């Protein structure tokens, strides 16, 4: 266990068509009540115990993490944690950028090192269609610029590529961020959850993404930063930066996965495609000791056998595993 992703809210101010489609997550949707959510103290406690089991990297996510009130307080609590040998944690956050300009300074002051911003297109019409709430590209770019200005970095930009929606923007996105301080990463559209109507035919394989960019700009593959890195790295041969491709559909990386996920209401999941989690909130609220919770975490982790993406690959062309997967907005992206 090296990475812990904490979903701090199941709510979002976007309704991205591939993640929280409006017809499901509309006005009548029952989001979690406040009493169900882990408090910052409960999250920090689980994080502290996870660090004793090897976690070195924590990512705050959701839903949209910047919607959680006083999120910088949680950042401050987590940034005080140290690995058993005294090193600082790699503390980061994934955001849609809508509130980043407003929040960047407070996050930086609280100890946030870096941030990943989701941006699916530079074309305003396409972007508004994909986030489905009419949010503009310019406002996300402003959030990125402010985060950079206050010294949060390196900043990564995530683009989910969905065939027929934004694949025409692969090369323009690459061109735009080439030579900038920002690292652009292309994510294969995944069959997370059960509401996005995923079809294999809407996935653009990473190999195709690289092929399209290479046709215009010379690229060479470079070594991962560390074992288990989700993204394969490619560098522009003229020295103007790098891109990443995350191939969770066409090249599953379950075998090297070191990620645990803590849901908004305190369930520990050992896979993004899991059907169930382990209720740590119940242990906390029942008054269990650190040792008891720690032993439970160890037990869950040792027993894990998840390899959904590898099974999906093995079955491509046939039926997909028929499972009721949790939604990404609940478990955290
Ligand atoms: N609200 C934040 C954001 O927009 O980055 C954090 C949560 S979001 C679920 C995390 C990431 O998951 C985003 O980059 C989003 O684009 C990505 N994502 C959501 N659904 C996806 C899917 N079906 N396939 C691939 N990536 C997806």
Which residues are 184's β-sheet partners? 157, 243
Question: Within its chain, how far is the Cα of 256 from the centroid?
Answer: 17
Which residues are 183's β-sheet partners? 156
Q: Which atom of ligand 1 is nearest to the CA of 120?
A: 16
Q: How many whole angstroms from 103 Cα to the centroid of ligand 1?
A: 20
Cβ pair 12, 67 in contact under 8 A: yes
Give residue 316's pLDDT: 60
Helix (H, G, I), strand (E, B) or coil at 277: coil
**What is the C-alpha to C-alpha distance for residues 228 and 225, in angstroms, rounded to an integer?**
9
**What are the structure tokens assigned to 205, written together?**
């394989």
Cα dihedral 314, 316, 319, 321 in deg (nearest 10): 50
Taking each helix axis from N to C end, the angle separating 124-131 and 137-149, rounded to the nearest 10 degrees, works out to: 90
> Which residues of the chain have a pLDDT value below 70?
315-323
Helix (H, G, I), strand (E, B) or coil at 47: helix
Cβ pair 94, 140 in contact under 8 A: no
**What are the structure tokens assigned to 219, written together?**
């690229």
CA-nearest residue, atom 9 of ligand 1: 333
Q: How many whole angstroms from 52 Cα to the centroid of ligand 1?
A: 28
Helix (H, G, I), strand (E, B) or coil at 136: coil
CA-nearest residue, atom 17 of ligand 1: 333
For 262, the enclosing helix (H) or strand (E) is: strand 259-262
**CA torsion through residues 159, 161, 164, 165, sign:** negative
Lining ligand 1 with CB less than 6 A are 12, 18-19, 61-62, 64, 94-96, 118, 158, 160, 187, 189-190, 192, 196, 328-329, 333
Q: How many whole angstroms from 19 Cα to the centroid of ligand 1?
A: 7
Which residues are 187's β-sheet partners? 160, 246
CA-nearest residue, atom 5 of ligand 1: 95
Question: Does the predicted TM-score (pTM) go above 0.85?
Answer: yes
Give residue 218's pLDDT: 97
CA-nearest residue, atom 23 of ligand 1: 190
Q: How many whole angstroms from 189 Cα to the centroid of ligand 1?
A: 9
Give residue 185's pLDDT: 98
**What is the C-alpha to C-alpha distance for residues 95 and 108, in angstroms, rounded to an integer?**
14
CA-nearest residue, atom 4 of ligand 1: 96
Q: How many whole angstroms from 96 Cα to the centroid of ligand 1?
A: 8
Give residue 319's pLDDT: 54
**What are the structure tokens assigned to 124, written together?**
């305003």
CA distances from 221 to 30, 242, 257 (A): 45, 9, 21
CA distances from 175 to 111, 157, 217, 270 (A): 31, 13, 9, 36
Peptide bond just before 154 cis, omega within 30 deg: yes
Give residue 310's pLDDT: 78
């Amino acid at each position: 266990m090296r990475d812990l992703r904490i979903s701090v809210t199941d709510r979002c101010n976007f309704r991205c068509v591939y993640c929280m489609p409006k017809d499901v997550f509309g006005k009548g949707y029952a989001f979690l009540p406040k009493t169900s959510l882990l408090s910052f103290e409960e999250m920090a406690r689980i994080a502290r115990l996870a660090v004793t089991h090897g976690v070195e990297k924590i990512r705050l996510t959701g839903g949209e993490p910047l919607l959680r009130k006083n999120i910088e307080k949680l950042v401050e609590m987590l940034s005080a944690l140290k690995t058993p040998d005294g090193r600082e944690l790699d503390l980061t956050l994934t955001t849609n950028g809508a509130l980043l300009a407003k929040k960047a300074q407070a996050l930086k002051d609280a100890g946030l090192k870096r941030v990943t911003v989701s941006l699916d297109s530079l074309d305003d019409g396409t972007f508004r269609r994909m986030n489905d709430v009419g949010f503009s590209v310019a406002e996300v770019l402003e959030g990125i610029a402010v985060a950079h200005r206050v010294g949060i970095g390196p900043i990564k930009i995530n683009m989910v590529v969905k065939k027929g929606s934004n694949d025409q923007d692969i090369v323009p996105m690459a061109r735009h961020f080439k030579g900038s301080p920002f690292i652009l990463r292309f994510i294969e559209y995944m069959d997370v959850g059960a509401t996005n109507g995923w079809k294999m035919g809407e996935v653009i394989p990473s190999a195709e993404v690289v092929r399209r960019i290479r046709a215009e700009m010379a690229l060479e593959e470079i070594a991962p930063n560390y074992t288990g890195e989700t993204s394969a790295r490619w560098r522009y041969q003229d020295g103007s930066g790098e891109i990443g491709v995350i191939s969770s559909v066409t090249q599953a990386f379950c075998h090297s996965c070191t990620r645990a996920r803590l849901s908004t209401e305190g369930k520990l999941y050992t896979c993004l495609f899991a059907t169930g989690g382990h209720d740590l909130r119940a242990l906390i609220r029942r008054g269990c000791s650190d040792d008891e919770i720690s032993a439970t975490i160890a037990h869950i982790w040792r027993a894990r056998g998840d390899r959904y993406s590898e099974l999906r690959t093995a079955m491509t062309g046939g039926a997909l595993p028929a499972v009721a997967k949790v939604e990404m907005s609940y478990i955290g992206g």
